[in-house]
Structure 1
Amino acid sequence: MAVLSPTTIDLRGYAAAIGLELSETEIEELRGLIEPTMDLYRALDTFDDEILSPQYPRGPASVPPAEQNPHNGWSFRIRAEGAGSGLLGGRSVALKDNICFVGAPVLNGAAAALEYLPESDATVATRVLAHGATITGKAVCEYMCASGGSHTSASGPVRNPHDPAHMAGGSSSGCAVLVASGAVDMAIGTDQGGSIRVPASFCGIVGMKPTHGLVPYTGIIGIDPTLDHAGPMTRSVTDNALLLQALAGPDGLDPRQNAPRTGDYLSDIEVGVAGLRIGIVQEGFGLTISDPVVDESVRAAAAILGKLGAAVEDVSIPIHAAGALVWVPITAEGAIRTLFQTHGLSTLQRGFYPVDLLDHLARWRESANDWPVNVTAVALTALHMNEKYNGRYYARAQNLLRKVAAAYDEMLSVYDVLVMPTTPMTAPPLPPADADAATTVRLASEPLTNTGVFDATGHPALSVPCGFSGALPIGLMMIGRHYDEPTLYRAARALEKQLAPDMRPASRQ
């Protein structure tokens, strides 16, 4: 596109926006001073822009018919076969629909009118193909990835395969459904507040939010760079570790990756828990929204780890209750800046900038009248706080985060793993289409109560199934030291072997 020089009217408006008073003479003088800079901008367009070209061929994308998409988990079907052999040879993988994959539109939970056709593949997509997997499609996600429930996608509610009248959890809702129902072996989700772990809990699968920066986020629509995580969703702990092994490590393009360390996530997975110290975080239980059956199931599962040789004790981290004070301002104000002010591209960082994605996100304002009420409420809250307080409370939340993270680090200097319910409840019923605004917002936010703070602190957190309440799964969350995913996998695998629940939905039994 051609770079246009600012007109007199443009400059007058820009000056007024920052409280700058200029005479007509001064405006004309500034136009002349600015023009050489415009020539530099125009010169940029003489260079080809960088894209991450696909390394593996793929077929055309299509929307599956309803009879082939019973839980509304698929956004698009597309098939790309990888290297043929390798760590993930023979495995099928779905990508959350905020992950760029050339040939398949990106909806990010929105209507087809806002679909984006990416020019580059996300690093995580290239990596699973390089390790021999086959990508078989894109999974539905919640609108702007802004809900812990599965009731906000423009394509309709995503239904829990254990009970289709109930939620699948969000925002990686389709990923969880496709994995739980057996439609794919594995999926790659994203998590800024619990969006991998909540649907994993509700659908009875394993979901890992890795240490912040361990998995590159390049080519994925984000919310706030300090919160953005991508990670594996699978039916078993071993498969989860296998997929993380393929995904982890720097790509040299993602500024979120601050000298990340990768590990061997499989070698010690069968070692067991003897000698580990496990702390049951009291503040994650007994909340006003907690289901006692969930609390009891998580405590019973932790007791099993004690019988296997771990030292299991109750611990108290009082500041856990203040997690929302940190996570909410960072998420709300960060999302507004990222999605609507910088159009998905955080400044002041080196890395790969997908310019086509920037152009696409600049269009999101056009759809404001179609936003679900939970997105509208977050947007207006953040705009108000930015307008009235100039980012003061985003800054205060980031500063308080240092104290919150230090409290977890201190406890993790004594304990190897911390445990609490992933979600305080099992999957709630899906609301009716005409649900009131308060219900829509409540169902989007309540599932994130225990999970959100660990996106802010960056600690690895793993949801693993630990039982059922009726037909609905219960998830136990394990939190570990930064980059100590191997210990979480050890503990989760030990629990998985003992419980050995058949976590498959009735439709697959």
Structure 2
Amino acid sequence: MQSGAANTASELYSPPAVCTPSLQQLSQSAAKFNLDIDEAELKQYQDLIKEALVSYERVDKMTEPIPAVKWPRTPGWRPEPADNPHNAWFWRTEITGASTGKLQGKTVAIKDNVAVAGVPMMNGSRIMEGYVPEYDATIVTRILDAGGTIKGKSMCEDLCMSADSFTSVTGPVLNAHDRTRSAGGSSSGSATLLALEQVDMATGGDQGGSVRIPAAWSGVVGLKATYGLVPYTGCVPIDITRDHVGPMARTVHDVALMLEVIAGYDNGLDPRQPANLSVPEYTKQLTGDLGGIRVGLLKEGFGTSHIYNVINEGCLETMIKGNGLGVGWKGFYPTSMLDALAKGYRSRANDMPPTGKFTYLLYDCITTNYGNRFYAKGQNLSRMLTHAYNQALSRYDVIIMPTIPFKATKLPNKDISTSEICKMALNFGQMSNVCPFNVTGHPALSINAGFSQGLPVGMMIVGRHFEDATVLKVAHAFENIRDSKI
């Protein structure tokens, strides 16, 4: 038996959080920045770095604040193919929220780029396979607080890098109206589940049209709300200047109701939001009365947004090089998610989808040769684009245009080439009407305008910043007119 006071945990051995870099590694780092440093001087830097690493050891032992998990749940189960014929579910579960609230009795599917604590999250990709978050995204907490019941995670496209619905590693999501056609992406599963009436509501993510494209091709309602209105906290980022998450449902009323629940200030966890952000009761403004509303009809909206294409470079820095978020962010960092992406990119880089590989190769070549000057210029030009739409919206309360220039396309066969995958999945013609509003941040909603040869046709309604209520009001009035003629 040893004498003396018992050792505290801090006095016992534990592996280092960060290893001191070797002289060889320091030499390689110096070469990256064109620094000529001899070995003797490098040894001095090595000693200084060893002292600096004390801060990393201290921080590693601290407990970081993460959003609380309020509602109990089980991990759920992976559905059998027979129970998932359209491949729209990634994971099934049953999480019951409050016994009262605005979403009492409503069933909800959560797109699989949104964290649900204790439930596997794959983001449609082998890169994140095996990851289980320990926190709920803010919108998940708000849905449960409002009495909603989460029925599972809806399938999404591989790393959400597709406007089509065939890139997920678990297979294509089939269109609810024609199983040979695309459901649209990247919120493909959410749209199909709604069209099949398997849930009442769903979440969608939208960086270049990923709520509105599947809503249009599946015949449901999808809203990309004003930039910053709905907190993105706990969702996989692609580019923080374009990231949106929003409500999807079969009716405008349910989209408005869901928006009431998930919108609003997130106590600084998402710094894109103004602190004085207010959320009206959107459902109470669905009066059907459009007296005084000025509607602008876009004569031609099929041009490609070159500004968006250049700004898309940001996904390389944020999602790939930055492992999902990068630096400079003053909100919540989902560190376990960032670790999962970092490990996936290192160990399973070849499992990136062709769209991801194309993105990496294109933008890495651009930034290597030209730095970020084109991205910076694109962001500067985005203010001109925003101003142009603001000018149009000073004359009209909403602008209306087709969501997509064509109906749902056929799903490809197994022998599709890499080039064809990228051309279909990253079809900027398909995205031409929707992606500008990810750049400008205006609210934009897609609603079914009817059917052509059995396939849905989407109509998009665009409004002023933070006037989502007007967009919903116009959509609801159109919905009433449309349904009265059926």
TM-score normalised to the size of structure 1?
0.89
Separation of aligned partners in 1, 2:127 and 2:306: 35
Identical amino acids, percent of aligned pairs: 42
2:320 equivalent to 1:340: yes
Relative to structure 1, the CA distance from residue 157 to residue 74 in structure 2 (aligned partners, 3 Å threshold; closer, same or farther) is: same
Relative to structure 1, the CA distance from residue 501 to residue 44 in structure 2 (aligned partners, 3 Å threshold; closer, same or farther) is: farther
Instruction: Tell me which residue corresponds to 1:417.
Output: 398
Amino acid at match of 1:364: G
Separation of aligned partners in 2, 1:67 and 1:256: 42
Relative to structure 1, the CA distance from residue 137 to residue 480 in structure 2 (aligned partners, 3 Å threshold; closer, same or farther) is: same
Separation of aligned partners in 2, 1:273 and 1:439: 45
Amino acid at match of 2:473: R
Across the aligned residues of Structure 1 and Structure 2, the Cα RMSD in angstroms comes to 1.6
2:344 equivalent to 1:364: yes
Relative to structure 1, the CA distance from residue 498 to residue 110 in structure 2 (aligned partners, 3 Å threshold; closer, same or farther) is: same
Aligned equivalent of 2:122, options 85, 107, 122: 107
Mean Cα deviation higher: 254-263 or 147-156: 254-263
Instruction: Tell me which residue corresponds to 1:258.
Output: 274
Separation of aligned partners in 2, 1:345 and 1:269: 37
Separation of aligned partners in 1, 2:128 and 2:261: 34
Instruction: Tell me which residue corresponds to 2:5.
Output: none
Relative to structure 1, the CA distance from residue 239 to residue 113 in structure 2 (aligned partners, 3 Å threshold; closer, same or farther) is: closer
2:71 equivalent to 1:56: yes
Separation of aligned partners in 2, 1:17 and 1:384: 16
Contact 1:416 1:481 in 2 (8 A): yes
Aligned equivalent of 1:171, options 176, 186, 192: 186
Instruction: Tell me which residue corresponds to 1:481.
Output: 464
Relative to structure 1, the CA distance from residue 375 to residue 476 in structure 2 (aligned partners, 3 Å threshold; closer, same or farther) is: same
Amino acid at match of 2:270: D
Instruction: Tell me which residue corresponds to 2:358.
Output: 377
Relative to structure 1, the CA distance from residue 249 to residue 502 in structure 2 (aligned partners, 3 Å threshold; closer, same or farther) is: farther
Separation of aligned partners in 1, 2:109 and 2:293: 34
Contact 1:340 1:364 in 2 (8 A): no
Secondary structure of the 2:125 match is coil
Aligned equivalent of 2:297, options 259, 268, 280: 280
Amino acid at match of 2:281: D
Instruction: Tell me which residue corresponds to 1:298.
Output: none
2:475 equivalent to 1:492: yes
Secondary structure of the 2:350 match is helix
Instruction: Tell me which residue corresponds to 1:291.
Output: none
Separation of aligned partners in 1, 2:430 and 2:187: 13
Separation of aligned partners in 2, 1:442 and 1:190: 21
Secondary structure of the 1:157 match is coil
Residue 478 of structure 1, CA deviation: 0.5
Alignment gaps of 5+ in structure 2: 1-15
Contact 2:305 2:435 in 1 (8 A): yes
Instruction: Tell me which residue corresponds to 2:420.
Output: 439
Aligned equivalent of 2:249, options 234, 239, 248: 234
Amino acid at match of 2:122: L
Relative to structure 1, the CA distance from residue 263 to residue 279 in structure 2 (aligned partners, 3 Å threshold; closer, same or farther) is: same
Separation of aligned partners in 2, 1:501 and 1:388: 58
Secondary structure of the 2:31 match is helix
2:262 equivalent to 1:247: yes
Q: Which string of whole-angstrom CA distances, capped at 9 and with x for unpartnered residues, describes residues 177-203 of structure 1?
A: 111101110001100000000000000
Residue 78 of structure 1, CA deviation: 1.0
Mean Cα deviation higher: 55-64 or 231-240: 55-64
Residue 271 of structure 1, CA deviation: 3.9
Amino acid at match of 1:479: V
* Pairs within 5 Å for 1:367-406: 367-406=348-387
Separation of aligned partners in 1, 2:160 and 2:373: 25
* Pairs within 5 Å for 1:135-150: 135-150=150-165
Residue 418 of structure 1, CA deviation: 0.5
Mean Cα deviation higher: 268-277 or 230-239: 268-277
Secondary structure of the 1:45 match is helix
The number of residue pairs the alignment matches comes to 466
TM-score normalised to the size of structure 2?
0.93
Relative to structure 1, the CA distance from residue 431 to residue 345 in structure 2 (aligned partners, 3 Å threshold; closer, same or farther) is: same
Contact 2:288 2:473 in 1 (8 A): yes
* Pairs within 5 Å for 1:186-335: 186-252=201-267, 253-259=269-275, 260-284=277-301, 287=302, 321=303, 324-331=305-312, 333-335=313-315
Residue 258 of structure 1, CA deviation: 3.3
Residue 375 of structure 1, CA deviation: 2.3
Separation of aligned partners in 2, 1:436 and 1:95: 31
2:441 equivalent to 1:458: yes
Residue 340 of structure 1, CA deviation: 2.0
Mean Cα deviation higher: 336-345 or 132-141: 336-345
Alignment gaps of 5+ in structure 1: 288-320, 504-509
Contact 2:225 2:443 in 1 (8 A): yes
Residue 113 of structure 1, CA deviation: 7.0
Residue 447 of structure 1, CA deviation: 2.2
Mean Cα deviation higher: 340-349 or 148-157: 340-349
Q: Which string of whole-angstrom CA distances, capped at 9 and with x for unpartnered residues, describes residues 196-242 of structure 1?
A: 00000000000000001100001000100000000000000000000
Q: Which string of whole-angstrom CA distances, capped at 9 and with x for unpartnered residues, describes residues 83-109 of structure 1?
A: 021100000001000100012111111
Secondary structure of the 2:400 match is strand
Instruction: Tell me which residue corresponds to 1:449.
Output: 432
Separation of aligned partners in 2, 1:115 and 1:379: 23
Separation of aligned partners in 1, 2:360 and 2:274: 29
Separation of aligned partners in 1, 2:369 and 2:41: 30
Aligned equivalent of 2:136, options 108, 121, 124: 121
Q: Which string of whole-angstrom CA distances, capped at 9 and with x for unpartnered residues, describes residues 451-499 of structure 1?
A: 0110111000000110111111000000000000110111101110111
Contact 2:17 2:56 in 1 (8 A): no
Q: Which string of whole-angstrom CA distances, capped at 9 and with x for unpartnered residues, describes residues 56-88 of structure 1?
A: 011232111111111100000011000021100
Separation of aligned partners in 1, 2:45 and 2:418: 49
Secondary structure of the 1:270 match is coil
Amino acid at match of 1:427: A
